[in-house]
Amino acid sequence: MNEVQRHNGILSLLEEKQTINVNNIIEQFHVSPATARRDISKLDELGKLKKIRNGAERVEVKRRRWTPLNIDSTEHYEEKERIAIKAAALCQPGDSVVINCGSTAFLLGQQLCGEDVQIVTNYFPLASYLITEDHDDVIIIGGQYNKAQHIFLNPAPDSLNGYAGNWMFTSGKGLTENGLYKADMLTAVAEQQMLEQIDKLVVVVDSSKVGQRTGMLFCPAEKIDILVTGKDADIDVIKTLEKNGTQVILV
């Protein structure tokens, strides 16, 4: 685990706890007391946490909420864009693609917009973008957009069972050798219903998420066919996932 990964891990710990001490960092990341204190000092200088006696406390940072209009201001934008480009290249003409919510998912949708693929999504910003950009084949889970009449067609009550996809692309708050974690339980449960309807599951997460465990386990690692992430991802997690059969693409 390099310094960047360790710093991300420390900040993730602070999301779960209000404060941590030097021993927490030593035990969690197997580093020396000097390294733990140096990490705290560096993150304090960057304004990511507040240094306190023998530890650190969380700093509440008000992040600008991203929208399709300011997507390039989202955290790790350049890496997420590379992930989206590589993930989009997996799709073939005529494929049906399920894309779930998040900034990386939106970037993936942008890459596929205008291509000969059917996009199934439960994510309104993406659906709205695709419709505005005249993507030919958009299905919103719970209703189908009709381009000619500009209406949503309501399917049967058990509509989710009627959809199938060649690919499902999803993200999350954390990814370990155990699987993918999501913070929002309602979103996770809704997406889990699609897992049995698709051929391949692709996880698209930036490298800061790899090695982090936050929220509920969305799916075990053995269900993940492909992972697309950044080159700074935790190498130990990557090796374990590959050993267990997940294809890993680093960008």
> DSSP states of 228-246 as a string?
EE-TTS-HHHHHHHHHTT-
Q: Which of 14-23, 64-73, 90-99, 206-215 has the lowest mean pLDDT?
A: 64-73
Question: CA torsion angle for 112, 115, 116, 121 (degrees, to 10)?
Answer: 30
**Rounded mean pLDDT, 20-48:** 93
Give the integer Cα–Cα distance in Å for 195 and 188: 11
What CA–CA distances, in Å, run from 229 to 103, 145, 189, 210, 237? 14, 31, 24, 8, 12
Higher pLDDT, 60 or 214: 214
**Local confidence band at 119 (pLDDT 50, 70, 90 cut-offs):** very high
* Bridge partners, residue 170, by sequence: 203
142 close to 122: Cβ distance less than 8 angstroms: yes
Percentage with pLDDT > 90 across the chain: 59
Give the integer Cα–Cα distance in Å for 177 and 166: 24
- For residue 130, is pLDDT > 60? yes
Match 């030593």 to its residue by tokens: 26
The pLDDT tens digits for 139-190 are 887 656 556 643 445 554 455 566 678 999 999 989 999 999 988 776 677 6
